[in-house]
Structure formats: C-alpha cells, structure tokens
Amino acid sequence: MKHIGNISPNKGSHKSPKRIGRGAGSGHGGTSTRGHKGHASRSGFKSKRNFEGGQMPLSRRLPKFGFKNPFRIEYQEVNVARLQELVDNNKIHVGDTVDLDVLRNLGVIKSSRIPVKVLGNGDLTAKLNVTAAKFTETAKGKIEHAGGSVVIDE
C-alpha cells in the first residue's frame, strides 16, 4: 500500500546530486573540483565584477577619449516651417503669441522644462510673436520679415 512515508520518484526521473569532497573513490575528492590552492579554492570566495585573474582588465586596456561637458544645454528644436504648418492647419492663428506652453499643448515639443531653439529652415508668411530661449539669425530674420516679433525667454 502506498502512503506518504514510502513515495518515491519514477525510475530515471530523478538524478542524484554530485557528491563533492566525499573521498577519492567518488572522483571528486581531494581538491573537490576547485583546482589547486589560490583564493578560488577557499571557502567564501567571491570574485570582483570584471576581475580577470590579475590580467589588465578590458576596461583599462581600451583607450580613453572624449569629453562630456557638464554645462552643456540641450535645446528642443523647432523650425519656422513647423510654425507655418501650424498656422496652415489652424492650430495657431496670425498674430498669436507662440511660447513653450502653446508648443507643448500642440505636441510640437516634448517638455516645457527643456528650452526651445527656433531654427530658420523653411518659410514663414504668418505674423507671429514667438517666445523662445534661442533663435538662429535666419529664424529671427524670417519671423521679423513676416511682421512678427522675437522675444528671448531666459
């Protein structure tokens, strides 16, 4: 009769674990599969990340180059052609003030915290009052030529 005390797995379904350090007859006695001496053979051994056994690590063998300027300011770019496209699609109207909040609400820029730079690619015929952190000379010229004004926001 089978009961909880004499249940055993099916034949061949369970492999017994490798018994390490149980004498020479086991095939895993002596050094217990750890090799000879060295800190990796001792108990409690933990290798440091990227440690290559004392060899000069890859991260130090490769040449270093480049520079990351911590004071660099990344701008979101908006072309005057995009402003004209918004006017053509009746998203903004002639004479309106275009600033970060308007551009953010229309989905032109991703964040109202990152400053905007207006670039001069394309043509602008609508009179707009544009407020942004920076303008290129061509963008400034095209906005003012169309009768609009440029306000530098800081």
In a domain, 90, yes or no: yes
pLDDT of the chain, 154 residues: tens digit per residue: 778 888 888 999 999 899 999 999 999 999 999 999 988 899 999 988 889 988 999 999 999 999 999 999 999 999 999 999 999 999 999 989 999 999 999 999 999 899 999 999 999 999 999 999 999 999 999 999 999 999 998 7
Any domain includes 7: no
Q: Residue 10: inside a domain, yes or no?
A: no
Q: Is residue 63 part of a domain?
A: no
Q: Give the number of domains in the chain.
A: 1
40 three-class SS: helix
| Contact in structure between 154 and 132 (CB atoms under 8 Å) | no
- Looking at residue 88, its pLDDT comes to 94
11 is a domain residue: no
- Cβ 34 vs Cβ 41: under 8 Å: yes
Give the pLDDT confidence score for residue 112 in this predicted structure: 87
pTM attached to this predicted model: 0.60
Q: What is the pLDDT of residue 90?
A: 92
Cα within 13 Å of Cα(153), Cβ side: 19
CATH code for the domain of 89 = 3.100.10.10
In a domain, 125, yes or no: yes
Q: What is the full DSSP assignment across 76-131?
A: EEEEHHHHHHHHHTTSS-TT-EE-HHHHHHTTSSS-SSS-EEEE--S---S--EEE
Q: Which domain holds residue 146?
A: 76-152
In a domain, 45, yes or no: no
What is the model's pLDDT at position 145?
95
Q: Is residue 43 part of a domain?
A: no
pLDDT at 144: 95
Return the DSSP state at 132.
E
What was the pLDDT predicted at 39?
A: 87
